Amino acid sequence: MEMKTKKPPFNIPDQVPVVILDDVVIFPNIIMPLTFTEESDLKLINDTAVGSKIVGIFSRKMSKNGETVSDDIFPVGTAATILKLFRMPDESLRIIVQGMQRIKLEEMTQSVPYLVAKINVLENEYKQNLKTEALHKNIIETFKKIAQLNEAIPEEIVAAVMNIKEPAVLADFIASNLDIKQKDRQEILKEINIEKRLDDLSSIMGRELRLMEIGSKIEDQISDQFAKSQRKYYLRQQLKEIKKELGEDQDLPVEIIEYEEKINKAKLPNDAKEAAEKELDRLKNMNPASAEYTVSINYLDWMVSLPWQVSTKDTMDIKKAQQILNKDHYGLDDIKERIIEYLAIKKLNKTIKGPILCFAGPPGVGKTSLGQSIAKSLGRKFIRMSLGGMRDEAEIRGHRKTYVGAMPGRVIQNLKNVKSNNPVFMLDEVDKIGSDFRGDPASALLEVLDPAQNSTFSDHYIEVPFDLSNVMFITTANQLQPIPAPLRDRMEIIQLPGYINEEKVKIAQKYLIPRQIKENGLNPKDISFTISAIRKVIAEYTREAGVRNLERELGGICRKVARKFAEGNKKAVKVTKDKIEKYLGPIKHVSEVINRDDEVGVATGLAWTPVGGEVLFIESVMMPGTKGFILTGHLGDVMKESARAAMSYIRSKAGELNIDSRTINKNDIHIHVPAGATPKDGPSAGITIATSLASLLSKNPIKHDIAMTGEITLRGKVMPVGGIKEKVIAAKRAGIKSIVIPKQNVKDLDTIPDNIIKSLNIHPVEKIDDVWEIAFVGNKNTFSTK
C-alpha cells in the first residue's frame, strides 16, 4: 500500500535530529522515559531541548540471533517532543518524550556531531465501517483476557484501554503496552490504514493469548505436582512425630548418621560443634528434594573437614633449621636470623603466636621461594595465595551460605586443603590488591594479619570463629607505598635489597646453573661455566636487582647445549667468556659508567625505583638564546623544583663563585636526563643537578666514576634522602668507585653489607661546596664560598 503524506498538524519541521534506539519502538501519543550516555546523543538532546524540542525516533533492526544490525534502521519512526529533561549524577541524561505522529525517513542530511534527517509526516487512512467497530471490540476483549493471565499488566492500563474510543489511538496504546516482538511493533507502527492496523494487531494479540493460555496450563500442572510433593512431606513429618510419641525407633538416613559420627570425631570447638549440631538437626527435618538440603550438606562438609585442632609439630632443632635456610638461599641474613629467633623463642615459650612478616624488595630476589624454605625449616605445611589483582572482599571472608554457590574465603579453603591449622601461609603481592564496589580486600586482611584479632577470625560462610593465631603469615611486596597504612602497621617489615654482581656469581654457581642443568635434561659433567663467563652474562645480558633474568639467560645457554647432545654430539661443553655471544647473541646492556670519560656538565646520580636502585646521568649544555632554563627527560614536578633550586643557588652566589652573571643571562641552559621515556621524580637529584651546572659554568670536568645523591636547599645545604641502601648497591653493581651522600644518611650505611661498604669510597657531605671539591677532576675547589 502506498503511504500518503501531508503537512503535519503539529509544527514538525522537515528536518529533525534522529535518535536511534535498540529494541524500542515509540508510538504516537505514548509518553516514555529514555536514558542516554553516548556523547553524540548527549549533544543532540542538549541542543534539541533548547530548540524545537522535537526529535525523530527510529528503531534499529535486530539480526536473527538477537543482536543489533548497526547501520540498518526501520524507515518509519515517530516524531516526539521532549517534555522533561533530567541530568543524572553519572553525567547521563534522562528525558521524558511523548510521541506525536508517524514519520518516514527520506534521507540523512547530517552525521556529525549527531544525525539529522529529512522526513515526511504520515497521515492515517481511516474509514469507519462495521469491520473496524468489530475489530475495536474484539481487541478490547482479547486484551482483558491477556491482562487476566499476565499479572504484570496493571488494572489502570485495562481501564484506560476500555475508555479509548479512537481505533488508531487504541491500536498504538495496546501495541506499546504488550510484551511483543520488535518486528510486530514495527509492523503496527508503519501501517497507516487503520482497518489494516487493527486487523494486524488482532492477529498478534490472538497468538499471544494462545501462548499465554498454554503457559498457564503448564504452570498449573507443575503446581499440582509440587502440591503433591509437599503433601507427602507433611505426611512424613506427621509420621515421624507419631513414631516419636509411640517411642518407636526412627530410621535416619545413612548420611545423617555419618555426619553425626564425623562431628564427634572432628574435635570441633564448642561454638563450632554447637553450630554443626544445629545444622544437622535442621537437616533431619528437611525434605531431601528441597534446595536447602544441599546447602546444609555442603556446610556440614566444610565444618567437619576443617583442621580445628589439627596441627603439625614444629622442628625444634635450630641448627638443622639454619642448615636448611642456608642450603636453599644465599645471603638474606636478616630474614634467616628472624626465623631462627622465632624458633628459639618457640622452644622456650610453646604458646607464642605466629609472627606476621612482610618481605619487601625488588622482583627476583627470592621473596616467594624463601617462604617455602621457611616452611621446610620449621617442618610445617606451606600455602601460597596470590593477592595480585584481587578486588572482591569475599575472596578473604567468603560468602554467606544462603547465597547460591556460596563457599568460604580462600584463607579457610587453603587451610582445609593442607589439613593443618599452623602452616606457613604466604600472601604474595600484597601491594597489588585492588578495590571496587565488591569491597576492599585489604581491609578484610586487617583481621587476618592482626595477632590480637586473628584468634577469632570469622568467615562469612562458616559463621563461627576460627583460630588463625598459630599460622605464620608471610606477605611479599615490591613496594610499601601502595599498602594501606593500617595494614602496613600490622606487619613486621623486612627489606630485601638487590644483589651485587659478586653475590649473583655465587647464586648462579650454587643454585641457578645446577637447576637449569637438571631442568634441561643435562648432567653436571656435560656442561660447565667459567666464572668470567658468568660475570659476562651478569654484566652484559642482564640489568636487574634480582636473578630472574640471569637464570633465564643461563637456561638459554643450557638449552642450546642440550640440543647438541640430542643431535648426537656428546662432547662435554665448557662455557667460557668468549662463547657467550655465540649462545646469547649480541650484548644487550653496556655499562655507561665504564664507557664514559670525565666530562664537563655530565654528573652521575643515584635513584631509587620500586625494583631497586638505578644509576642515572644528568647532562647540561649552554648555548646562545633567550629561552632561559630548559628541563627535559620526562621529569616530575619535584625534580624540576630541585633543578630550579640548584640554579637559583648558583645564580645567588655568582659573584662569590667567580661566575659572570651576564653569561647566564645571555645564554640558554638546558638540563637533560637521558632515558626520556622513563618518568623520573624526587628531590635526591638536587646535588647532582647542581654539580652538573657548576661544571658547565666553570668548564671543570666531573669525575666519571663518582656518583651522588642528596637534596639541595637554596642555602646550599645537602639534605638527607631515602633509599640509600638500594642506591649504594646499584652504584656497586654499575662499577662506581666513589659515592657522595648527605651526612645525615650515614646511619643508613649500617644496613649495607660490610663487603660493599669496604669496596667503595663513601663521602658524607653537609654543603654543596664539599660535593664540588670531591667531584671535580683534580679536586679543584674553583667555587668555594667558605
Beta partners for 630? 670
d(CA 125, CA 197): 10
Q: Could you tell me the CA-to-CA distances from 405 to 113, 290, 305, 415, 440 in Å, in that order? A: 47, 15, 18, 20, 21
Q: Of 367, 727, 732, 767, which one is the catalytic site residue? A: 727
Are residues 304 and 276 in contact, defined by beta-carbon separation less than 8 angstroms?
yes
Indicate the range of 346-355, 520-529, 577-586 predicted with least confidence.
346-355
Provide the CB-side half-sphere exposure for 427 (13 A, CA): 28
Give SS3 for 104: strand
Contacts of 23 (CB under 8 A, 6+ apart): 59, 60, 62, 68, 182
pLDDT of amino acid 783:
43
Pairing of strands 738-742, 68-73: unpaired
Q: How far is CA 568 from CA 519, 529, 555, in A?
A: 19, 21, 20
d(CA 52, CA 13): 9
The answer, yes or no, to whether residue 166 has pLDDT greater than 80, is yes
In percent, the amount of the chain with pLDDT more than 90 equals 15
Tell me the helix, strand and coil percentages in the chain, rounded to 5: 45, 20, 35
| Distance from C-alpha of 4 to C-alpha of 102, rounded to nearest angstrom | 11
Cα 20 from Cα 22, distance rounded (Å):
7
Of 176, 373, 642, 684, which residue is the catalytic one?
A: 684
Q: Is 727 known to be catalytic?
A: yes
The strand pairing partners of 99, in sequence order, are 80
Helix residue ranges, H only, 398-530:
410-418, 441-448, 485-489, 501-507, 513-519
CA 82 to CA 32: how far, in whole Å? 10
Cα–Cα distance, 499 to 726 (Å, whole number):
10
Q: How far is residue 110's CA from residue 544's CA, in Å, rounded to a whole number?
A: 57
Residue 409 has pLDDT above 50, yes or no: yes
Residue 4 confidence (pLDDT)? 34
Cβ–Cβ < 8 Å for 455, 339? no
Measured between alpha carbons, how far apart are the two ends of the chain, in Å? 103
With a cut of 50, say whether residue 337 has pLDDT above it.
yes
Q: Given pLDDT bands bounded at 50, 70 and 90, which one contains residue 366?
A: confident
Least-confidence region, from 22-36, 231-245, 261-275, 280-294: 231-245
**Cis omega before residue 113 (within 30°)?**
yes
What's the confidence (pLDDT) of residue 351? Answer: 74
Cα separation of 28 and 57, whole Å?
11
Question: For residues 456 and 411, is the Cβ–Cβ distance under 8 A?
Answer: no
3-state secondary structure of 69: strand
State how far the Cα of 339 lies from the Cα of 461, in Å rounded to an integer: 34
Nearest to 387 by CA among 493, 492, 478: 478
User: What is the pLDDT confidence band of residue 103, given thresholds at 50, 70 and 90?
Assistant: very high
pLDDT score for 662: 77
* Average pLDDT in the chain: 83
Name the residue with cell 659508567: 593
Scanning 594-738, the segments in alpha helix (DSSP H) are 637-652, 661-666, 686-698, 724-734
Asked if 379 contacts 312 with a C-beta cutoff of 8 angstroms, the reply is: yes
Pairing relationship of beta strands 573-575 and 527-529 according to DSSP bridges: parallel
How many whole angstroms separate alpha carbon 648 and alpha carbon 638?
Answer: 15
Provide the H-helix boundaries in 37-181: 39-49, 130-149, 155-163, 167-177
Q: Which of 159, 161, 162, 183 is nearest to 173 (CA)?
A: 161
How far apart CA 324 and CA 376 sit, in angstroms, is 7
The sign one gets for the Cα dihedral 36, 41, 43, 46 is negative
DSSP code of 511? I
Mean pLDDT, residues 43-72: 79
Cα separation of 441 and 424, whole Å? Answer: 20
Q: What span, in angstroms and rounded, lies between the C-alpha atoms of 463 and 461?
A: 5
Beta strands, E only, 111-255: 116-121
684 part of the active site: yes
**How far is Cα 244 from Cα 231, in angstroms, rounded to an integer?**
20
pLDDT in tens, 676-713: 667 888 888 899 999 998 888 888 899 888 999 999 99
Confidence of residue 16 (pLDDT cuts 50, 70, 90): very high
Mean pLDDT over residues 564-592, rounded? 84
How many other CB atoms are found less than 10 A from the CB of residue 689? 25
C-alpha cell at 166: 479512537
Contacts of 157 (CB under 8 A, 6+ apart): 147, 177
**pLDDT at residue 96, rounded to an integer:** 92
**CA atoms of 182 and 186, how far apart (whole Å):** 6
Over residues 135-146, the pLDDT tens digits come to 889 988 888 888
Q: Amino acid letter at 73?
A: I
Least confident of 214-228, 578-592, 718-732: 214-228
In 403-531, which ranges are E strands? 424-428, 457-458, 465-466, 472-477, 492-495, 527-529
Backbone angles phi, psi at 571, to 5 degrees: -75, 135
Of 726, 779, 727, 736, give the one whose Cα is nearest residue 760: 736
Residue 57 bridge partners (DSSP): 19, 78
pLDDT at 69 over 60: no
Residue type, 462: I
Q: Write down the pLDDT at residue 236.
A: 66
Q: Tens digit of pLDDT for each residue in 586-633? A: 888 776 665 677 888 899 999 887 666 788 889 999 888 877 788 888
> Can you give the length of the chain in residues?
786
In this predicted structure, the answer to whether residue 79 has a pLDDT above a threshold of 90 is yes
Position 33 scores a pLDDT of 92
* Closest C-alpha to 82, from 123, 105, 51, 108: 51
- Grid cell locating 538: 651478569
Those residues whose C-beta lies under 8 Å from the C-beta of residue 456, and which sit 6 or more positions away, are: 465, 467
Between 174-178, 256-260, 297-301, 371-375, the lowest mean confidence (pLDDT) is in 256-260
For the segment 504-543, what is each residue's pLDDT rounded down to a tens digit?
888 898 889 999 999 888 888 888 999 999 988 888 888 7
From CA 603, how far away is CA 691, in angstroms rounded? 7
